Chains A and B, each alone.
Chain A
C-alpha cells in the first residue's frame, strides 16, 4: 500500500490505492505483428493526412479582405463636421454659462470698488465721488448687461429701499432672480420684431422728418 503525503491524496487514499492496484491491461500477442504488417503493406487507413497544395487565392484571401476593409473604411468613414446632429448639439445655455463665469470673474475684480463706493454713498460723500461711483458702477453694469436684460431685472437692495421701483421691474421672477449676483433671468424666448413693421414705421418717420424740414424751410423763407 502506497503512503500519501499530499492532503488531497490522503483524503482519497483508499480510492487511489484501488486505482493503482487495478490490473494492467496488456496488448494482444499479435499486436506487433499486425502493426508491422500494416506498415509493410502501407495500410495506413486515414492516418496519413494528405498535404494540402499551395493555393494562391487561399493564401491571399485574408490580406485581401483586410485591404478591402481598409479601403471601404476610408471611403465611407463618417466625417463629423459634415453631419449636424441637432439632438446631440449642446443647448445655448452652455454659452451663457461661460459668459456668466467670465463676467463673475470680471466682477470680482471690480467688486471691491463697488462696495467702497456704496459705503461712501451711505456716508454722504461729495458729488464728485458720486460721479466716480456712477462711472465705476456703470462700467461694471455695462458688462453685466451683455447677458442680463436690465429692463427685466432688478437689484433687490434697491428694490427694498424703494430707490428703483418701476412697474416693469415688479415681476416676481425678476425680483427673485436678480440682485448683486449676475444670474440669468430665466430662459425667456425673445420675440423677434417683424421687419415689415419696422420698415413701415421707418418710412413714416422719414416722411415726417421731410415734412418738418419743408416746414422749417418755409418758415425761414417767410421771415
Chain B
C-alpha cells in the first residue's frame, strides 16, 4: 500500500488524504516538500530557525485545511502559496518587532552576523563566501521582488506557477523578476564587474 502511495502524484496523494484521511499520504507529501519549502523560506527570511518554524506551520496548515485545496490547482503552487504567505507574515512581524523593540541594540545584530559568518577555516572556500554574500544581497532586495526571484531563479518554477502562487498576472511576474534581478545585480556589482 505504502509502495503504491509513493508512486502517486501530489494531486492523487492529497485526494487520498482528503477522501480517506490517509496519514501516510500526508507524510509522503511532507517528505516531498519539506526541503524545497525550507530552501525557499530560508532564502526569503535568511534565518534557519524562523524558516523551520514557518515550514512546520505550513505543514500544519496543510493538515488542518486540506479540504480547502481544490483539485483544479496544482498541489505545489497551493503549498508554496501557504508557505509564502506565512513567510511574509513572519517578515512583517519581524519588522514590527524591530520598530517597537526597546532593546534594539547592536548585540543582537552582531550575534546574527556572527552566526551567519561562522565558517570553519578548512571549509571556508571562495564559493561559500560568495554564497554568503549573495544571500545577504538577496535579503536586501525588496520582498516583493525577492519572492519572485527566489521562486524563479532558485526554486526553478515556471512563470505560470509563480503567477498562481503570487496571484499576479504573468506580465507583472516577469517585470518583477526583472526588477529583482536588476536590484540584485546592482548590489553584487563588485562580484560581477570582475
Chain A contacts to B: CB under 8 angstroms? 8, 12, 14-16, 18-20, 22-28, 31-32, 34-36, 38-39, 44-45, 47-48
CB distance from B49 to the nearest CB of A (A): 10
Indicate if the CB atoms of A31 and B60 lie closer than 8 Å: no
Asked if B64 CB lies within 8 Å of chain A CBs, one says yes
Central interface residue in B34, B59, B64, B130, by most chain A CB within 10 Å? B59
Determine which residue in B27, B31, B56, B130 has the highest number of CB atoms from chain A within 10 A of its CB, and name it. B56
Interface residue? B55 (CB, 8 A): yes
> How distant is B133 from chain A, measured CB to nearest CB, in Å?
10
Q: List chain A residues, Cβ under 8 A from B160.
A: none
B153, A31: Cβ atoms closer than 8 Å: no
**Contacts A28-B52, A31-B52, A31-B55 hold; do A47 and B60 have CB atoms under 8 A apart?**
yes
- Bound-state CA distance A56–B102 (Å) is 44
Given known A15-B184, A31-B55, A38-B56, contact A23–B64 (CB-CB < 8 A): no
Residues of A close to B156: CB separation below 8 A: 20
Q: Which residues of B contact A23 (CB under 8 A)?
A: 131
Question: A12-B181, A15-B184 known; 5 other A-B pairs, CB under 8 Å?
Answer: A18-B130, A24-B35, A27-B35, A31-B55, A47-B57
Please indicate the chain B residues that have their CB under 8 angstroms from the CB of A15 in the complex. 181, 184-185, 188, 192
A8, A14, A22, A35: the one within 8 Å of B60 (CB): A35
Do B27 and A47 touch (CB < 8 A)?
no
Contact A19 B153 (CB under 8 A): yes
Residues of A within 8 A of B56 (CB): 31, 34-35, 38
Number of A-B contacts (CB under 8 A): 74
**Looking at chain B's contact residues, is the secondary structure mostly helix, strand, loop, or mixed?**
helix
Contact flag A27-B55 (CB < 8 Å), given A32-B31, A32-B34, A35-B30: yes
Interface size class of chain B, counting residues whose CB lies under 8 Å from the partner chain = 35 or more
Contacts of B81 in A (CB 8 A): none
Interface residue B42 (Cβ < 8 Å from any Cβ of A): yes
- B30 contacts A20, C-beta separation under 8 Å: no
Known: A15-B181, A22-B135, A31-B52. A47 touches B61 (CB 8 A): yes
Which residue in chain A gives the minimum CB-CB distance to B130?
A: A18
B178 near A25 with CB under 8 A, answer no
Instruction: Using CB atoms, name the residue of chain B closest to A32.
Output: B30
Distance, CA A31 to CA B27, complexed state (A)? 12
Chain B residues contacting A39 (CB-CB under 8 Å) are: 60, 63
Complex CA gap A208/B38 in Å reads: 121
Complex CA gap A36/B153 in Å reads 32
Min CB gap B74→A, angstroms: 21
Question: Which partner residue on chain A sits nearest B48 by CB separation?
Answer: A25
B134 lies within 8 A of A18 (CB): yes
